[in-house]
Structures are given as C-alpha cells and as structure tokens.
Structure 1
Amino acid sequence: MVILLGLQITKIKVDTDPENMLPHDHPGRLVHDSVKKMFGLSDMIVVGLVNDRTAAGVFTPKNLTAIVHLTEYVTKIDGVVVKDLMSLANVDDIRQGEAGEIRFQWLMRQSPETNDAARSVLNSVRNLPLLNNTLASEDGKAAALYIPIIAKDQSYRISGEISHYLRSLDIDGEFYITGLPVAEDTFGVEMFIQMAISAPAAAAMIFLLMWFFFRSATLITAPMLMAFIVVIATMGLLIGSGYTVHIMSSMIPIFLMPIAVVDSVHILSEFADRYRQGDDPKVVVKQVMGHLFQPMLYTSITSAIGFASLAITPIPPVQVFGLHIAFGIALAFLLTITFIPAYIVSMNETQLNRMAEKVNQLHHSGRMPKLLQSVGTKVVSKTVWIISAIVIVVGTSLYGVSQIKINDNPVRWFAENHDIRVADRVMNTHFAGTYQVYLRLKHEPEVNDSKQLIQDVGQQLESLDNDIVAQWWSANSALLSGHEYAEFITALDDLLFTLDDPLVLSSLEQVSAKIQQRAVQAKYFQNPENLAYIDKLQRYIEGQDVVGKSNSVVDLIKTVYRELTGDQANYRIPESAAAVAQTLLSYQGSHRPDDLWHFVTPDYTDALIWVQLTSGDNQDVEAMVSAVQEYLVTNPLPQNVSLDWAGLTYINVLWQDEMVSGMLESLLGSFVIVFVVMVVLFRSFFWGVLAMVPLSITITFIYGVIGLSGKDYDMPIAVLSSLTLGLSVDFAIHFLERSRALYKQNGSIQETMALMFDEPARAITRNALVISLGFTPLLLAPLIPYNTVGVFLAVIMIVSCAVSLMVLPVLLSLGRKLLFRIS
C-alpha cells in the first residue's frame, strides 16, 4: 500500500494561490475575473526605494539612475507585462504646449545629472494626481515601481530575479519588494520548505518524548513508522486522485502526525505498564486491545467526523483537506489495531524485558505516577473548588469569545521581521498603499429605449417608400439592437453617397443626427454628470482611514483638461460631453494611450475606480466596503448603473469570510454529530452529555483565550477548530470508557477513581505531553500559521487532558447514582 500510494507523490502539482480557495464559479470570483479581463488588469509586484536619512530622499541623480537601470532590467524579465510597467522612467509628464494644445514628454527618460534636475522630477510627479503618492511619496523619501505580471505563480521567481539585481545597484537607501502576489506565492514556497523541516523535526521530538516514557527505541519505532505510513498513503491518495497540493492540503502531514500516534501511545503505555519479564506478549497485547479497542474506535470515529464535516464548507481546498484527513484517521485506526499489535509481538524477549525493567523503575521513581495519584486523591474531595474554578474559567472564556475579531491578511502570515512583512510596513508608511481594490461602475442601457429607437427609425425610413433604403435598413437594423452606433452611422454615410433624392437625403440626415445623439448618450462615462458622480464617490472613499488615494478616468480627464486650458483652476471635469471627448482624444496622443482603458472601456459603459489601501486586513477592507454601502443609501447609484467589487485584496476577504463562516457551521454541525455518536456508542444520553463536557470547556477556553489575547481569528485558527474537536474528545472517551469498565469489575466509585489515576491517567497524560511538546519545533518556523498550530496544539492537548482528569471524576462522583445506577 505504501509503495503504490507513495509512488503517486511523484505526480505532485503545487497550487499556492489563495484565490483558489473560492470555487471557479463563485459570483465574486466571476466578477473579479471579468473586471481583470475587461480593463486589462494584472497583479502587481511593488518595488520601493526608500531613503529617510537625507533631506533629498531618493530624488538624487544616483538614486534616479538606479531606478532607470532597474526599469530597463525589469522589462527583460520573462513574465512581466512590459507595456503596463509603471516607473518614473517610463511614464509621461503632462504639460501645456501651445495655446489649446497639450504636450506629453517622458518624465524621466534619462537619468538626471544634477540635484536640481532630480528635484524637478519630484515636482512634476506632485503635479500629476495619478502618479503622486503612487510612484513617488509626497515627502520625496521614497519612489516605487509597479510591475505587472502575467500570473501570480510567477511572482516568487520574478521577485527573486529583481532582488538579485538590486544588490548590484549603487544607491543611497534601501530597496523593498512587496505586494500581495509576492506574499502569497512566497508563503506557498516557504510553506513547503517549512513542511520539509518542521514535520521531520516534530516527528523527531515525538520520538524522543516517547523514548523518555517507554525507554525502548525499538518499541516506539512502531507508532513512528505507522505515522509515516499514514502520511505517505494519505498524500499519495490525494495526489493520485488528481488534486493539486494547495496551501491547505500541504498541512495534512502536520495534522495527521499527532492523530496517527495518539492511540498508539495509549497501547504502548498500557502494554509497558502491564508487561513483566516472562509474560507472553501475545496475551498481554490481547488484554490491552480488549481494554482499548472501544475507546480507540470511538475517538477515531469522532475525530474523522470532525474533519469530514469540513466537506460542507464552501471552500474546495478545505473540503479536500478535511476528507483526506478523515481518510488518514480511518487508516491510522486500522493500522493501530493491526500493525501496532503485530509489531509489538514480533519484538524479541530480551528487548521486551529490558523495556519492562526500565519502565518499572521509572514508575517507582518517577514524578508523574506520584503526581497523578496525588491528583486522584484530591480531585473528588475538592469538588466545590473545582466546580467553582470551572464556572469562573468558562464565564471568563465566554467573555473572551465575545471579544473575538475575525481578521486575516496573507502578509501577516509571515513573522514580524520577515522581509515581506518589513517591506509591507515601510511601503505603506510612505505611499498611498500597496493593496489594490477596484470598484466597477457598469451602465446597462434600457432594452425598451433601444426598441423604441429602432421602431422610430424604421417608421421614418419606411415612410420614404424607397426600395434601396428598405433593403439597406433590413441589412443594418441589427446594428442598433447591438448598440453599435458608430458602425451604423458609417454604413448610413455610405448609403448617402449612393442617393440623390433631396427628400430622402434630408430624412436620412435627420436619422444620422438622431443616432449620433444616441451614440453620445451611449458613451455613458463621457457625460459630465455621470463623471461627477464618480468624482464625488472617490472623494468620499478617500475619506476612509485605510484609503490612501483613489484613481479613475475622472483624475485623468481633470489633469488633461487643466493642461489644455493652462489654468490650475480648471482642474475639473469639462462642462460638456464633447469637451470630455476632446480631452480623452488628446490623451490618446501620449506615450501610454492604452492606460486609459485601465479606467474605462472603449464604449464608455463601464468605469473603474482604483482604490489604494494601506492595509489588507479583512477588518479594514470590510470597513471601507461597508462605508461605501452606507454612502450608496443616501447617494444612490444613477439609474441602470450597478457597482461591483474586485481585486485580489477583496477576493481574500471573500474567501476568508467564507472559510470562517464555513468552519463555524462545520464546528457546530460536527459538535452535534459527535454528541449523537457519543449517545449511541455509550448507549446513554447522560454519558453522551458527560463525554461532551471536556470538549465544550476546551473549545470555550481556547476561543476565550483567542479573544482575550487579541489574537485575530484567522485562517490557521479556523482550521484548528476541527483539530480541537477531534483531540479534545479523545481523552474524555478514554477516561469514561475505562471508568465504566473498571466500575463493572469492582462496583466502587472510589476504587474506580484510584485505578483510573494509575495506568489510564498515565496514558492520557503521556499522550498530552507527547503531542503538545512534540510540536514545539513549529514555534521556530518563520511562518505564523506554523507557530499558531504549534501553540494551539499544545494548549488544546494540555487543557483537554487537565479538564478530563479533573472535571470528569467530579462529575462521575456527583452523578454516580444516575450514571452507574447505584441505589
């Protein structure tokens, strides 16, 4: 099995794009893809040069020369969309020429040779709203390049080539590279590197801890082998089934490792405690399996349910992650009850006797047995104190839960001192923002208007009673249905040259004038009134805290119109559609005429507002979106105009919200299912309730800590929800099932608890320590999700273990008449 499934791993295909968290047919993703295609948008890598040390900042001949060289180098990198590259070295300075004319000249085609010339570049940028605080900071301390790329999955390679080249440039200051595509692609690459480091490190730590408890490297090799078998088989199944290894599925080994060994530790623990020199290992193993089979079955079922429930989330990679973890859990259970016993009885007598001697010495001299026995004797006698403490903890935790803030940002997945995190802070301090969100305003003409126009023109042409005109109309009327007014007017002009009847010509010229008027009206975003709405909306958006600036076709029109008139006071929208059209036509004479189509479509029915944000956090983006929605309530969109959101930053908000809500539904749904399973397996409603108590307290405590500590509820926390449910119920099941079995043997709750705090409590405690301490190597990873998994795995295990050992004895004692039916 391992060979067959392991061979499938060679077919691995990696997908590090968080955008694929959403299904391809998700409405938000469809809009995003449509906007990118409609306006020719690309994802951007942002490179910044910052110099805070001198008054001149970056605007010196040396630094601007470096920018020129960097721009030339970037144009040669495969995967860069060269025509849309934005740099001080390849954009226009827009100036007035002769009276009523405009001049476009390169802002900095060549490196300036003097400080004054360098400073004049900054002054020119300040005069261009589209570029100010985007390509150059207001204080002149920073300059930036916006590098569009053909695909996000090439950003790591491209940024690496740029980073390598930057080291060869002579500058005063520091270069920084940032942007969401870089952050996401870099995280994907580094995540796989960390997986290759952290998973073996965690395995090594678990191995060492189990050796400390069982003092037999041969014995503990069994669960380690089994864990690797489970991981290899699960990943082989995933890859062999044709799934790409996504950010989520790449974490399967980290999640499966503790789950795979958790039942094995119970088996090894009881076997080590029971086996004595001269015993038949087969007999001992049968006794151990007789005690542990049911609780292991229960815990495997509940853990599998917890992860399989992720299939109901609306996030495809999470569905794949959950279902394959569930498969891994089922496989781990199968191997636990077959491979582990077979391995143990295959060990030679000398190895087993040496292990038994060392473990026996450890039990008599070790602190854990004494501590657990002490806890066992005190727990029941301190009932009031324990119940009071639990009430206080749960109450405080519930308050903490109310303080949880749902927030995420892929850039924050890196450690504080990571290059990308540092670059993000520096660049968003100096510029209007490196996070882009787009607002598309779309005008849909009314169908009835088109029908009425066609009817009116048709009646006018039919009244001419001219066969040539009638045939022409029959061939060209469809152009009006498709709003192809320019084509219709051209065809009508051709017809006019073939006719000589004055009455017919006069009537056709009237039709031409009517269609021309409609053509002007159809170019919706050439109308000053409609442009004024965009302008007003932009000013409101720019008033939001997280917004650095916004750009649209309005800013372009205002700038060109100001220079055409030569009057600073004319930085405004022209008063007529014809004047707007003339302004835009003038811009077409620039070196970058196609930049216009990044803001408006050629038919002027769709317009785009670019919003630059200084933060990509969910909370900040959602606050800005909510503010716009509130604005639209009091300032409704014009008739037949709709507004859509797009941009990678907005897409991240969508999938993260879907994940959080999906995980919450999954957690609640699986909680109910696990409760039902507990009732069925224990064949008792009350025992089912009891089994859920440690789980409920643990989940409440974990989320309370998250809220009280100020830790954002993000993607890693959401994913850990399933692990919380699966591992938290594990200890309770073992404790309750063993308690019931022991009580049947002795009939005394006191003796049952005394026995429970011997081998069973040791097994539970060992398990908690092995897993919680075994994943401490994750704390050394430079990626925050790995740190989060390491910390919360430890907390989950320790808290659920403590609650099971301290609360369940109290509840069993208080409810013994109901639970054990004592008369």
Structure 2
Amino acid sequence: MLSAFKTCYENLVTRRPKLVLLFVALITLGAALGLPRFKLDASADSLTLEADEALDYYREIAERYASGDFLVVTYRYKDGDLFSDQSLATLRELRDELAQVDGVSSVQSILDVPLLYSPKLAISDVADGIRTLSTPGTDKKLARQEFLSSPIYRDLILSPDGQTTAVLVNLELDSRGIELVRERDALRRKRSEEGLSAGEAARLEEVGRTYLQHRTSREQASRARVETVRGIIDGYRDEAELFLGGVSMITADMVSFIKSDLVVFGTGILIFIVATLLIIFRQLRWVLLPLSTCVIAAVTMLGLLSWLDWRLTVISANFVALLLIITLAITIHLAVRYRELAARNPEWTREELALAVVRFMARPCLYTALTTIVAFVSLVASGIRPVIDFGWMMTIGVTLALALSFLIIPSALMLLSKRTDGSGEDSAGGKESDSAFTLLFSRFAERRRAVVLGVSLLAAVASAVGISQLKVENRFIDYFDDSTEIYQGMLVIDRRLGGTVTLDIILDQPEREESAFAGEEDPFAADAGAEEDPFATGDPFAAGEDPFGGGGEAVEDSYWFTVAGLSKIEQLHDFLEQQPEIGKVQSLATLYKVARDLNDGPLNDFELAVARTSLPEQINDVLVDPYLSIEHNQARITLRAMETDPNLHREELINRIYRYAEDEMGVAPENIHQTGLLVLYNNMLQSLFKSQILTLGAVFVGILLMFLVLFRSLWLAVIALVPNMLAACVVLGGMGLAGIPLDMMTITIAAITVGIGVDHAIHYLYRFRAEFAKDGDYVATMHRSHATIGRAMFYTAITIIAGFSILALSKFVPSIYFGLLTALAMTAALLGSLTLLPLLLLLIKPLPAPEGPGKPQETEERAAEAVS
C-alpha cells in the first residue's frame, strides 16, 4: 500500500507536474471563494471553559434577575461643576440620545435615580412620590451629598471628587440566546456523560446551528450598537471627557484587534519571508516558491475555516502567523537540500534531483510535522474553547502545510530549468561564510564541553526555581495596551466608580426558616387551638392576598425580606464592603439601611412586609427587584471587584467569602453560591495549571514515542528530547522569575516550543546518522552536520524567532507575550540543538559503528533509498 502510494506520488510529481499544480490551484480557488464567509468571534463563549457548569448557572441567574449586558459611559464635564445647569443639560441630551439606540432597554444616570435624602424623607412619605435630580426645585447640593454618602449610590454613580459620573446603558436581555445555549450545553454534557439518542444527537446539531446563527446576528447588532454609541459620544467630546466601557465594547474592540493582528502579522511576516529568502538564497525562484507555498497554505486554510464556519478568536488568530512560519520552515529545508544535491551532483537531471530531495526529506519532515501536531493536539486538554480551537486549527494547518510543500516545490522544480550556479558555494550548496558561522557552534561544543553542560545545568536549576514561582493570577485590564479605550475606560470606572469585574453571591432560603413572621408576634396570626378565626374567610397573607399590595406576591414567601433574612444579608454585605479589593456592594441590605435611617429606628417584620408592598415602582426597580427572587426564595448580593488592585487574587477572594459565610454566619454550603464574570474568569485561570501539566505531559510522551519509532533507540530519543525540554522549562521558568502569569495565550508556549523545537532535533539527528555512516567519527560527523543541516536549522529558527517577534506589534498584551516568549523559547531550542544536542551525542555515543567505509555519495544515496 505504502509502496503503491509512493509510486503514484512520484509519477504525479515527475511526470504530471502541471496537473499537480493545477489541482493545487483549483483547491486554493475553491477555498478562497469561501473567504467572504469568514467570521471572527470574541464572545463570552470564546473566553470560558468548555464544560464549566458555573457558566450555565451564570446564565440562569442572569435570566432570573434580568441582568442583561450593559454599557457604561463615564462623563466628566470639562468647563465647570458637574452639577451646573449647562453640565446637566449636556448630560440630559447625551442620556436621551443613548436611550434611542436600538437594543437599549433603559438608561440610568444621576438625573433619573430616586432621591431619598434631598431632603430626607420619612418612610411614610416614600410612597407619595419620588424626587429626582430632574425634578424642579431639587436642591443640587443635597443631591450631590446624597450621591456621595448614601449607601445606595456611594461609590456607584459619582466619583469621590464629585466630578465624574456614570451613565448606565442597559441592553435588552437576550433570553432567546440564553435558552438556546443552555439547551446546547445540557445536551453536550449528557453526550459526554451518558451518550445521546439519535433524536437527541439531531437536536444537538440543530440547536447548535440555530444558536450559532442567532449569536452571529446578535454580535453584528452589538458591534453596530457600540459604533453608534461611540458616534454619539464623539459628538460630546468638546464639552466633556468621556469613556466607554462594558463587555459589549470589549468584545467589539477585541474583534477589531483580531482583524488588525491578522493584517499586521500576515503582512509583516510575508515581508519578512521575502527579505529572509532573498538574504539566504539570493535567487528569485527560492523566494517565489516558498512564498507561494506559504500564501497558498494560508489562503486554503482560511477558506476551509470559512466554509466550515469555524471562527477565529483572539487566541486562534495567531494560527495564521504560525502556519506561515511552519510552512516556510518546511520549504527552507527542501530548498537547502535541493541546493546541496545540485551543487554536489551537477550532472543529475531535474527528475533525479526532485526525487532525491523528496526521498531524503520525506521522513524527517513527516516526523517533524507529526511532533508539531502532537504539540497542538495536546492543547485540547486545556478545556478552554479558544485554546481547543487553536489546537485543532493548527493540527489541520500543519498537515496542509506538509502536503502542499511536497506537492508544490517538487512539481515546480520539474518545470523550472536546472540552475547550478555554484560560484562561491561549498559542497553543501551554501556560502562558505554561512557554513563557517554554524561551525562556530560545533567547535564551541567540542572545545567547551564543561561550559555547555554547566550553562545547561544552571539554566535547568534557574528554570525549576522560576517554575515554582509561576502563577495564574493576573489582571484583565493588563491584557490591553494603555492607549486603548478598553484600558482607559476600565481604569476610570475601577478607580472612580466602584470597580469593574462583577461578582454575584446567591443566598438560598434555609429550609428550617418558616414564614415571614417567624420568631415574633404576628398581629394577624390566629391561635392554633382556636375554633373560630375572625379572618377564617381567608387569611390575606396565607392565600397570597396582600391587602397592602393589591394582589401581590405572598408575604410569607419573602423570608429574605424579614428582620432575620435582612440581618444575614446585611452581615455578609458589611463583610464584603470591608474587603480592600472590593468596590461597590449592592443588596437588599442597602434598602434595609436606608429604611432604618428614614424610620429613625429599626423596623419589625410586619412593617417590612407593608413597606415592601407599598414601595413605588422606581424604588422597586432600583433596590428590590435586582436582589430578590420571591419565586425561588433567593436573595442576591452583587459587587464589583477592583481590577486595578495589585492585591486582587480571585481564587483567594472567592474562598474567603465562602469561609466567612459558612464559618462565621452559619450558612450551609448548599445555600450559598457565587457567580459572575469574576468566577468564570477565575475558573478558566485555575484550570491553566492543570492544563499546563496535562499539555506538557502529553507532548513529551507523544514525542518520545515518535522518536523511538523514528530512531529505534531509547538513547537517541532521550538525547533528542532533552534540549527541547530544557527550552520549554527555560521559558516557563523565565515567566515565573519575571512575574509573568499564565493566561490563555502563554499556556500554549511550552507545548509549541517543544512541538516546533524538536523539528531541529529530528533533522539534525537524521543527518547525523547519515553522516556518521561515512566514517564513524563522531567529531567529524558533528562538524559536517553543522555545515549542512545546521545551516538549514539556523535559517528556519531565525525565521521563526523573527516571525514570532512581529506579534509584539499587537495591542493585545497576551499576544505580545506570546510572540516574545515563543521567540525566546525558540532561541533556547536552537542553541540547545546546536550545542547541547551534539555534545550529548559525543559523550553518550549512541550510534553503532558503521559496518565499513563507503563512498560518501553512495552512502548518501543508500540513506535516501532507506528513507523511501
């Protein structure tokens, strides 16, 4: 089977090269036709764990409390006091324009919120009518003081200096999207745990497709809405300092970052490829052939993703740069080998040269591709959707790059005239100065063995120390350049307006608690032993009829609106406010504090029940409905963490809250839950350590097995793996020592380093074996290998290093870290392959002595035949 495939391939390449190139062109054209369908994704789904049950709970709570997405506009008047007539008139115009934007359900500002202390009302007066800042005759000084000191608005709607306010733009809740995604995720979980019936599998496919279409339309509408809001804001920048914040804005900007990165990285790497090839080969054909192969691979892969509706995220957007670099590395190895053979054998025909290149390079290139694929497949273990997609995309991309390289390069060489301008070239077909440069490494490894081993050992020890200090805790704000509006807006909201990252604490009613009047005398309670009940015709509270509420919900179901329930909420609320990394906290305790103050003393359960049913809608909307679910016997505390606080440790904060509620308050573990973006983001971060271990473990095991198959020697397999393990440890240790945390981007670096770095080891060891068969001299073999394959390794490594360094141009900080750290890792891998790897071969001598000397060319041809 394998022989038949080889024969078919060789016949196509050597006898039908035009047909092969036509086939490639048609495939590329077909893929390119799908490019208009290409989509990007920066939704919340692309930043969470694949099967995080907390995500489903988050969506459930969001739907229950109608807490949809929102945008925040910070407003700071430039020419005077924020509460001046002109400033408030400008703010009113801005608010009214924002309220007209499609998809906006309401807009809340200092102009609209109810005022209870301007002047202070008695609790009995609250139901008579609520004053706002827009109400004629409102005392602005009192209103300003209320915004600064009231437990309702303090650190929420007005900055401590009284000059910056927030306009909250509430967006319509996507109930349909929540319904679809929860059904999809439930079916996915069942598929992984129990399996699905045929009907359920069909339903999963249908609901997945429907949700994707729905999300696409919603994302397009969201981006258009953000642009509309930005346009409105721009019209007021002459009068006020304005920043836009919110998840929708971040999502829209991240899509822009992806697009920018694709253009910048793609263009930058293509320019670099041309420059590199001109410097290395100085021949037009060796610029056009690798460049064409790289472009065709990228276009074909992007087209395939478009047809499959497989979307790029901030993470997987880097796959284009990686694919170009990996494709270029394969073509450079083919080009260098062809030039070597052409220089040594000027009498060979084009067919002989093309076949010799393919036969000698097929196995090492195949195994380098497979090891790279193993590295990327291992990313599936991360459990993080964009990382998983990145792994599969690169797996397909590397396979495609290998296939296209071995189709395009040999076929094109069959159509081009043979060129053997070898002036100034050594026996390897390269400039003598190039060979001399790589020979510096082999001479150093031979003469400075102790230095090589000592530096390697020192690097290993330093890496171990650094890895022990590696952390996952990081600040989301640090993901963005300080010139971006995301960074500036988050900074203003975080420091002046009570924090940015949301956390919800959900309290379920304890089972032992009874009615709303439990624990104190109910003026309407009947004696349990009485035969006659003056209210026997129907207890208004038992039957769900509230004489004060016009038929509202049953009072006895509102445990959290009793003295006992509110006291528990207040205790936890006060504890949260004392935590240094927490900004604004909101709950029913806020209303409880205000009610006590307005009443000039505590309220009993009956007074609370009456007050709840008589509150005006404005108060309910702000102080009750977002924090109480009577139907589910549940209370909600919302808070915002200070993202800019250097002491923010999400996992520790979450556990601290749980410990206090359970140990100090006696709340049963099953009755308290935490959710929100802070929890989801923390879950993703905490999975990174486990993912890193699983990823590296899978990579090392998979590559070791491949080395055993390729070299049939445990010693050679271990020798090949050591320099690359060291390179991966160097980059992880360097991150730990430099205080750079693991995140969605940097988690992939170690696996990619090993996967791509071992390419050097495979090519070097494969050439070393072929050269060793000539004379059995380890030292001479090392120098010859450095002069030949060493040069190709150097070229490809420099290309990879410089290519990754281009990622430093991104505005997305993790991409910058990814590019620079991967460049560092590849530098370490190259140095290891050119110094430590050959030194280990000299010291261990793992190869059997050759049977007898033979002519170099014959030995090489036999090696090539063995490859085939």
- The TM tier, using the shorter chain, reads 0.7 to 0.9
Residues 343 and 589 (structure 1 numbering): CA distance in 2 closer, same or farther, change over 3 Å?
A: closer
1:597 maps to 2:625: yes
Among 514, 535, 548, the residue aligned to 2:570: 535
Contact 1:94 1:104 in 2 (8 A): no
Cα distance between partner residues in 2 of 1:31 and 1:87: 30
Picking from 791, 798, 803, the partner of 1:762 is 791
Aligned residues of 2:65 and 2:626 also touching (Cα < 8 A)? yes
Q: Show the 5 A alignment for 1:51-130.
A: 58-82=82-106, 85-95=107-117, 96-97=120-121, 100-102=124-126, 104-109=129-134, 118-130=140-152
Alignment deviations for residues 737-776 of structure 1 (CA, whole Å, 9 cap, x no partner): 1111111122111210120120111000001111211343
User: 1:89, CA displacement in angstroms?
Assistant: 1.6
The CA deviation string for residues 296-316 of structure 1, in whole angstroms up to 9 with x for no partner, is 111111111111222333233
Q: For the residues of structure 2 that align with 1:311 and 1:168, how far apart are their CA atoms?
A: 46
In the TM superposition, what are the counterparts of 1:489-508 in structure 2 within 5 Å?
508=536
Q: Which aligned pairs between 1:356-435 and structure 2 lie closer than 5 A?
A: 356-357=422-423, 367-435=433-501
The one-letter code of the counterpart of 2:366 is L
What does 1:248-327 align with in structure 2 at a 5 Å threshold?
248-276=315-343, 279-327=348-396
Tell whether 2:179 aligns with 1:179. no
The Cα shift of 1:403 comes to 1.5
Distance verdict in 2 for CA 1:639–1:402, change over 3 Å: closer
Alpha carbons of structure 1 residues 64 and 505: separation in structure 2 relative to 1, 3 Å: closer
User: 1:318-348 CA distances to partner (integer Å, 9 max, x unpaired)?
Assistant: 3332122112112222222232222223222
Partner of 1:649 in structure 2? 678
Structure-2 residue corresponding to 1:477: none
Q: Among 139, 152, 163, which residue is 1:141 paired with?
A: 163
Instruction: Name the CA distance, whole Å, in 1 between partners of 2:575 and 2:835.
Output: 57
Normalized against structure 1, the TM-score is what?
Answer: 0.85
* CA distance in 1 between partners of 2:410 and 2:806 (Å): 30
Which residue of structure 2 lines up, in the alignment, with residue 7 of structure 1? 33
Matches within 5 A, 1:455-604: 508=536, 520-563=555-598, 565=599, 567=600, 570=601, 574-590=602-618, 593=621, 596-603=624-631
In the alignment, the residues of structure 2 paired with residue 714 and residue 219 of structure 1 have an alpha-carbon distance, to the nearest angstrom, of 39
The answer to whether the 8 Å contact 1:444/1:640 transfers is no
For 1:110 and 1:278, locate their aligned partners in 2 and report how far apart those are by CA, in whole Å. 97
Q: Does 1:212 align with 2:284?
A: no
Deviation at 1:610, TM superposition (A): 0.9
Q: Does 1:678 align with 2:707?
A: yes
- Give 1:594 shift: 6.5
Matched, 1:697 2:723: no
User: For residues 595-622 of structure 1, what are the alpha-carbon distances to aligned partners after superposition, in whole Å with 9 as ceiling and x for unaligned?
Assistant: 5211111447111111111217995322
Structure 2 contact 49–683 (Cα < 8 Å) conserved = no
Residue aligned with 1:441, SS: strand
Q: Alpha carbons of 1:639 and 1:381: their partners in 2 closer, same or farther (altered >3 Å)? A: closer
1:443 to 502, 506, 509: 509
Shift of the 752–361 alpha-carbon distance from structure 1 to 2, 3 Å rule, reads closer
Deviates more, 1:629-638 or 1:98-107: 98-107
Shift of 1:519: 5.7
Q: Is the 8 A contact 2:494 2:644 kept in 1?
A: no
2:257 corresponds, among 190, 198, 215, to 190
- Distance change >3 Å, CA 331–CA 363, structure 1 → 2: closer
The count of residues paired between Structure 1 and Structure 2 equals 754
The superposition leaves residues 658-685 of structure 1 with CA deviations (integer Å, 9 ceiling, x where unpaired) of 3553343122222212112211221111
Letter in 1 for 2:382: T
Q: What CA distance in whole angstroms lies between the structure 2 residues aligned with 1:813 and 1:99?
A: 89
Distance (whole Å) between structure 2 residues aligned to residue 507 and residue 422 of structure 1 = 62
1:802-821 alignment runs, 5 A limit: 802-816=831-845, 818-820=846-848
Q: Quickly say closer, same or farther: Cα 1:273–1:40, change in 2 above 3 A.
A: same
- Are the aligned partners of 2:566 and 2:592 in contact in 1 as well (CA < 8 Å)? no
Letter in 2 for 1:148: N
1:210 is displaced (CA, Å) by 1.5
Identity across the alignment (%): 19
Contact 1:19 1:655 in 2 (8 A): no
Which residue does 1:345 correspond to in 2? 414
Q: How many Å apart are 1:639 and its aligned residue?
A: 5.3
Matches within 5 A, 1:680-759: 680-759=709-788
Query: Partner of 1:90: helix, strand, or coil?
Result: coil
Give the structure 1 partner of residue 403 of structure 2.
Answer: 334
> Measured at CA, do residues 431 and 395 of structure 1 come closer, stay the same or move farther in structure 2, by a change above 3 Å?
same
Gaps (5+ residues) in structure 1? Answer: 454-482, 484-501
- Cα deviation for residue 444 of structure 1 reads 6.1
Report the secondary structure of 2:649's partner residue: helix
User: Within 2, Cα distance between the matches of 1:528 and 1:230?
Assistant: 68
Name the CA shift for 1:22/1:716 in 2 (closer, same or farther; >3 Å): closer
My pick for the range that moved more, 673-682 or 333-342, is: 333-342
Q: CA offset at residue 803 of structure 1?
A: 0.6
Equivalent residues of 1:439, 1:610 under 8 A apart: yes
Classify the secondary structure of the residue corresponding to 2:618: coil
Displacement after TM superposition at 1:395 (Å): 0.6
* Equivalent pair of 1:438/1:610 in contact (CA under 8 Å): yes
Structure 2 CA distance, aligned partners of 1:156 and 1:703? 37
The DSSP-based 3-state class of the residue aligned with 2:169 is: strand
The whole-number CA distance in structure 2 between the counterparts of 1:361 and 1:25 is 57
Q: Matched residues in 1 for 2:430 and 2:360: separation?
A: 24
| Matched-pair contact (CA < 8 Å) for 1:599–1:609 | yes
**Deviation per residue, 1:105-126 (Å, 9 max, x gap):** 34322799xxx95444311313
Q: Deviations over 1:459-482 (max 9, x none)?
A: xxxxxxxxxxxxxxxxxxxxxxxx
2:436, 2:787 within 8 Å by CA — same for their partners in 1? no
1:238-268 alpha-carbon deviations (Å, 9 max, x no partner): 3333433333333321221212221211111
Distance 1:429 1:733, change over 3 A: same
Q: Which amino acid aligns with 2:152?
A: L
Q: Distance in 2 between matches of 1:414 and 1:361?
A: 51
SS of the equivalent of 1:433 reads: coil
- Please tell me the residue identity of whatever aligns with 1:608: R
Q: Give the match's secondary structure for 2:156.
A: coil
- The separation in 1 between residues aligned to 2:848 and 2:297, in whole angstroms, is 38
739-748 vs 96-105, which deviates more? 96-105
Contact 1:727 1:796 (C-alpha < 8 Å) held by counterparts? no
TM-aligned CA deviation for residue 791 of structure 1? 1.1
Structure 1 residues 393 and 57: alpha-carbon distance in aligned structure 2, compared to 1, 3 A threshold:
farther
Instruction: Quote the offset at 1:638 in angstroms.
Output: 3.6
Moved more, 691-700 or 223-232: 223-232
Contact 1:281 1:344 in 2 (8 A): yes
User: Contact 2:315 / 2:745 at 8 angstroms: preserved in 1?
Assistant: no
Letter in 2 for 1:11: R
Q: Which moved more, 1:143-152 or 1:737-746?
A: 143-152
| Aligned residues of 1:445 and 1:640 also touching (Cα < 8 A) | no
Look up the match of 2:59.
33
For the residues of structure 2 that align with 1:374 and 1:640, how far apart are their CA atoms?
Answer: 65
Deviation of residue 212 (structure 1)? 0.8
- Matched with 1:465 is none
Partner amino acid, structure 1, of 2:566? L
Q: Deviations over 1:409-433 (max 9, x none)?
A: 4433221222221222233222211
Whether 1:201 and 2:230 are equivalent positions in the alignment is no
Compute the RMSD of aligned alpha carbons: 3.2
1:169 aligned partner:
236
Preserved CA contact (<8 Å) 1:178 1:424: yes
Summarize the Cα distance change of 1:220–1:140 in structure 2 as closer, same or farther, 3 Å threshold: same
Q: Is the 8 A contact 1:180 1:648 kept in 2?
A: no
> 2:498–2:640: 8 Å Cα contact kept in structure 1?
yes
Contact 1:660–1:715 (CA<8 Å) still a contact in 2?
no
